[in-house]
């Protein structure tokens, strides 16, 4: 027996509400607890633990914290790649879906991969100015 349209709609609504509540809780935690300070309860970056390099997303939690506190300049320093890239990616996906196209054709995947690898190499070069800030070290 297949679920009725009403049950499917209700399941989607509950899924959306649950996702919204979890996202709001995550943003509240990142906004209240400062990831710039060592010893806070945030997961370590596995890429950084394995290689010693900042990954393309390193500084993303600090960037989010800075944005929630209205500090755009600090957010740029923490991770300008995500600050610019995530909104562009969201617009791209919405635009492609609205047109009925696949959100990530092969060319887009290659472009995102090349951009992420380039950003990773550039941000790990000695003297690169945009490095995630950690207070107290």
**What tens digit of pLDDT does each residue of 39-79 get?**
888 888 899 999 999 899 988 989 999 999 999 999 999 99
Quickly tell me which residue has 């009725």 as its tokens: 4
Residue written as token pair 């890239």: 85
Q: Does residue 111 lie within any of the structural domains?
A: yes
* Pair of tokens at residue 22: 């979890």
Residue 109: how many CB atoms within 10 A of its CB?
10
Considering only CA atoms, which of 108, 51, 54 is closest in space to residue 85?
A: 108
Q: How many structural domains are present in the chain? A: 1
Does residue 74 lie within any of the structural domains? yes
Within a domain: 2: no
pTM: 0.79
Question: What percentage of the chain reaches a pLDDT higher than 90?
Answer: 56
pLDDT on residue 39: 81
Q: Identify the residue with better confidence: 7 or 115.
A: 115
Residue 113 inside a domain? The answer is yes
Distance of CA 135 to the CA centre of its chain: 21
Q: Is residue 47 part of a domain?
A: yes
**Arithmetic mean of pLDDT, 69-94:** 94
Q: Which two tokens stand for residue 98?
A: 């609205």
The answer as to whether 61 is a domain residue is: yes
User: What's the domain range around 77?
Assistant: 33-123
Spatial separation of the C-alpha atoms in residues 30 and 61, rounded to whole Å: 7
């Amino acid at each position: 027996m297949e679920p009725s349209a009403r049950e499917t709609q209700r399941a989607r609504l509950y899924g959306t509400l649950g996702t919204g509540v979890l996202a709001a809780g995550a943003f509240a935690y990142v906004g209240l607890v400062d990831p710039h300070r060592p010893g806070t309860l945030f997961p370590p970056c596995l890429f950084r633990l394995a290689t010693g390099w900042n990954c393309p997303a390193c500084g993303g939690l600090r960037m989010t914290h800075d944005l929630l506190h209205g500090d755009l300049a600090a957010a740029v320093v923490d991770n300008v790649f995500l600050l610019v890239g995530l909104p562009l990616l969201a617009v791209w996906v919405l635009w492609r879906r609205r047109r009925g196209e696949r959100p990530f054709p092969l060319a887009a995947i290659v472009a995102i991969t090349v951009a992420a690898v380039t950003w990773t190499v550039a941000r790990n070069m000695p003297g690169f100015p945009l490095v995630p800030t950690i207070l107290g070290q």
